Every structure is written in structure tokens, then in C-alpha cells.
Amino acid sequence: GPCGPMEDEDCPDLVPIGAEQSEGSPGRKIPVTIITGYLGAGKTTLLNYILTEQHNKRIAVILNEFGEGSALEKSLAISQGGELYEEWLELRNGCLCCSVKDNGVKAIENLMQRRGKFDYILLETTGLADPGAVASMFWVDSELGSDIYLDGIVSVVDAKHGLQHLTEEKPEGLINEASRQVALADLVIINKTDLVSEEELNKVRTSVRSINGLVKILETQRSRVDLSNVLDLHAFDSLSGVSLQKKLEHVKTTHEHLDKAIITVTFEVPGNIKEENLNLFIQNLLWEKNVKDKAGYTMDVIRLKGLVSIQGKSHQVIVQGVHELYDLEETSVAWKEDEKRTNRLVLIGRNLDKETIKEVFIATVREEQGNS
């Protein structure tokens, strides 16, 4: 499972393929999708659409009411005199909507125990929340035998105001929250495209892509999306191995539009690497934070993804990281006999310098070091 810098024990070994339960087995895990986006971007409309559309899925939508008191709660009349209870609204299409004070995994599991299983759970985070913190909570928990797993992070961006949010300069040291949401997203929905010109829309696209070179972009009006594009992303498990392989071949390193902007950096290093050396490289980057750019700033990695060739493993290994948590898992994609083994990594974050990261990677994985 994913490990972070707080744990004492070493990172667990890779899980063998086939250890997960198959679809339809009694222990089938329920996917959780985190929906994030600025106020007014269209999250509420998206959730309303999902809750009322006929799609033959049982979906539970969980609203986090930190702060503003979501418009969705008002429109679904859950709140009572300003106080929110853990209330449920059963909708005609079999979906449920509720609001919870505690967005912990336990709360969600309790809800499921009381209400039976859903096919999907959508968790809305508030305007400025860091979806990475919520994501890592689910990610860690799924390893502890939880019956839910993190399927993906979806960020809704408003075509009209999105660019302004994404490029807003923050005081020294603070991160731009809108761009962090895009950096962490597996899917970005650019909404309200009917309100802007093609030229404006293109600027938003370019801005999103410069932050996150891996993300899938959907463009919508009034948040109407085909649910099959939003659910079952498998963004955090080894099932994404095959699609990730295709993606990694097309990802390009992006350039900062602004000083200190979040960008995507990607590089490839051929050959086999040792698992302990890879762990060392990632821990230096994510935990020790001792990898600096040419100007001496610490590289701040928000999201890490890649496919690597670990010595002694016949399958490609997927690398996943969110903030300080990371995970290595064998995929179902086997290296072919005549295939050149290689390692491709994509990093999304601030102060990233491709040359330096690549040099550090090569120095760390090539070095013959004992376990000190």
C-alpha cells in the first residue's frame, strides 16, 4: 500500500497480480470519486445532473459542508434551520444524497452499512479544499481492508473565470488552489464552454494542459457529461497500466506560464532499476525534499505517476504519488521478450527542473548502493 514519511516500517513489498478480488465477488469494493472545483464552476450542477439523470446506477453523493453551505443542499432541501444533520434524500433514480460533518472513511462506511451498497460514491469537496489530503485518506484506507477505494479526482473548471483562477498570483510561498486542483485531477471538466469564444476556451485548455500534462479534458455546457467518462477511471490502481502506457508516450514537459507555476515534467531512462534505489529516489523527492532546482528552490511534487522496470519483475510497475504518499504496484502489463525495458516518470508540481530531476534519478538508480 501507499506509504508516507510518518511510518516507521519499510514500505511494503509489491502486491502480486491477481491478489485483488475480481469484479462481482462478495468483497467488491466501491469506487469513490472526488469532485473538486471553485464555487460557481458547476460542481453543483454536475452533482444535480448525476443525481437526477436516468443511468441505472446507485450513486451516493456526499456533500462536505465546510463553509459556504452548498447550493445543492439548499436545492435538495436537506438543511434544517441552518443546522445540518446526517440526512438522506432518496431520489427517484435510486441515488442518494447526504451531507456529512465528518468526511472520514469511517463515516462513509457507516452510511453504507446502514443503507446497503451503492455502485458509486461521489464526494464533493469545497471550493478551496486540497483534494490531495482527502485523496490520500481514502488511498491509505483502502489498504487497511476498507470496502471503498479511490477511483479518481475530477476537477470542474469554469471556462469563463477559470483562467483567472488558474493564473491568480498568490503571496510568496502560497500555492494557487485552483491550479493545485487541476494538478491533482485525473479528469478536468471545462464547463460553460458556451459562454466563451473559441479563443478564450483555447487559453483555458492551454493553461490546464500546462499545469497537468496527463489529465483528460472534457468540455461541457451546464455540466452535462457522459457518466462513463467520469466514473471507473481506475486512476489509482494497477488496472490503469495499459492506458497509462499509451498516455506516457504522448506526455510532454510543459513550460511555466507564470513564475512559480505548477508544471508537468516527464523523462525516460532506459534499463532495469532496483526497487530499493527507486524508493530512495522517491523518498528524497517527496519526504526529504532535498532535491532543488537550479535557483536553489525545493522541488515541490504534487503528483507523481509512471511506469518503471524493476529488476526481477516480469511486469511493468506503476508508480503513483500524491503529496508525500506514494505506492508501487505491479501492473498486468508484461514486458515482452524483445522489448527494451525503460522507465518513464511524470511529475507535476512547482520548481520542477527536468534536467536536474533526471540527473538525480540516474545517479540514484544507477548507483550500486548497499542498504545503509
- Range(s) for CATH 3.40.50.300 in the chain? 30-236
Q: Give the residue carrying C-alpha cell 505517476.
A: 305
Buried b (16+ CB within 10 A) or exposed e, 178-206: bbbbbbbbbbbbbbbbeebeeeebebbbe
Low-confidence ranges of the chain (pLDDT < 70): 5-27, 64-107, 110-112, 114-117, 140-145, 257-259, 367-372
The domain made up of 30-236 has a fold known as Rossmann fold (3.40.50)
Please state which CATH number belongs to domain 239-366.
Answer: 3.30.1220.10
Helix, strand, or coil (residue 200): helix
For the chain, give the percent of residues with pLDDT over 90. 43
- Range(s) for CATH 3.30.1220.10 in the chain? 239-366
Helix, strand, or coil (residue 302): strand
Among 352, 170, 147, CA closest to 263 = 352
Residue-level pLDDT at 87: 52
- Show the cell assigned to 153: 479526482
Among 252, 364, 253, 249, CA closest to 316 = 249
Query: 148, 62 in Cβ contact below 8 A?
Result: no
Question: Angle at the Cα of 317 (from 313 to 321), degrees rounded to 5?
Answer: 145
Residue-level pLDDT at 161: 94
Which DSSP helix (H) or strand (E) runs through 350?
A: strand 342-350
For the chain, how far is it from start to end, CA to CA, in angstroms?
23
